[in-house]
Amino acid sequence: MSDPASHQDPQASEPINEEKLLTLGKLARGIAHDLKNLLAGVQGNTELALREFKNENLARKALANVMLASRSAHELVEQISAYSRHDNIPHKVLDLRETIAHVERLLEGFVSPAVTLTVELPPKPVCVKANASQMQQLVMNLCQNGLQALGDKGGRLCISLGCDAARQKALLKVSDSGPGISSDILPRIFDPYFTTKELGMGTGLGLAVVQKIVQDCGGEIQATSQPDIETTFSIELPRSLETPVPEAPMPTPEDYPQEKKAILLVDDEPIMRGLGMDILHTLGYRVSVAENGSEALDMVKRHPDYFDLVLSDSKMPEMSGPELAEQLYAVRPGLPFILVTAFNDSGTEARLKEFGVTEIVQKPFLIENLARALSNALNRVGKGS
């Protein structure tokens, strides 16, 4: 008599596996959220100090290193959350030439003199619909992968961009002249957590995240390798014939109103609340603070005409940022509301706009990005829109 266990439906265990994966996904999102809060405090305080220092060279160098470390940690968190998320990250029309040019500027700081970096860009725009930060992450991950393959010996790293007009595809290639990838390993390089690197040299998520970003954009990625000659990652993305919307210019001191605007800052985290106050003061605003949504709602009800804008964290106990926006919309329609969040998707953004959320700022943010969001929100009110 045969063992009944040997005839079990192999699909019977799938719901359990899916449930485990969903639980791990939620756990990863929770960890990423908490880490982003901490990183926002490190990054924001460091950037603020750097803006205030004048000639203290050693202090500036140390703070710059802290800033670099926090940004690197942020990139790691982004890789974890990017692979675990199931929401729809907002996409917009991008010119990939600008994405690659941005990554090239970042690479200039740490590419070894032994490495020859070549960037080949076409004269005309090559546009796709994607998320700007994810596309930068994609190109940077592939470049970092190539640089690690080259190692101390150096060699060639090439980024090339083109298009297939007949098939309406954008073509992106990143290649290096490193030792290559063996044929037995090549089929597994996009598997999550698979890595041949030494402990501490990689998470095994880099290429898995790259593949997921490409797939989320409706594209395809392939890797080819000739040992000791060249390894090439080739990406095809659907090309967009739309024109990118130019980003609003950075606000200048002349853009700020002569009369200081009153901002209500809402955050349950003391570190972020203190940091927010300091940043807003340096940007020339009057600041009031609330520790939660209920307190903020009460303050606006008691002084409905005092505040010019509300700047609120998204995830808070008792009343979340989106719930606060909805409540405030009923009390004072048209009051500019900026939501600061670690996670965002296009569906959520569309719903938030209905309740008067004027701008969404991703956490951790650069001060210049927050300044732009504040300026945009207040200018819309000033123009009567």
What is the 3-class SS of the chain, one letter each residue?
Answer: CCCHHHHCCHHHHHHHHHHHHHHHHHHHHHHHHHHHHHHHHHHHHHHHHHHHCCCCHHHHHHHHHHHHHHHHHHHHHHHHHHHHCCCCCCCEEEEHHHHHHHHHHHHCCCCCCCEEEEEECCCCCCEEEECHHHHHHHHHHHHHHHHHHHHHHCEEEEEEEEEECCCCEEEEEEEECCCCCCCCCHHHCCCCCCCCCCCCCCCCCHHHHHHHHHHHCCCEEEEEEECCCEEEEEEEEEECCCCCCCCCCCCCHHHCCCCCCEEEEECCCHHHHHHHHHHHHHCCCEEEEECCHHHHHHHHHHCCCCCCEEEEECCCCCCCHHHHHHHHHHHCCCCCEEEEECCCCHHHHHHHHHCCEEEEEECCCCHHHHHHHHHHHHHHHHCCC
* 92-238 and 262-379 agree in CATH topology: no
Considering the domain 92-238 in this protein, what is its CATH number?
3.30.565.10
Give residue-wise pLDDT tens across range 231-277. Answer: 999 999 999 999 887 765 555 544 554 468 999 999 988 878 888 89
Class of domain 262-379: alpha beta
Give residue-wise pLDDT tens across range 119-132. Answer: 999 999 999 999 88
pLDDT mean values, one per 10 residues, the chain (385 residues): 40 50 60 67 73 65 64 63 60 93 80 90 95 86 88 92 95 94 85 55 65 92 91 96 74 55 91 86 91 93 92 89 90 91 65 79 83 88 53
In the chain, where the domains are located: 18-84, 92-238, 262-379
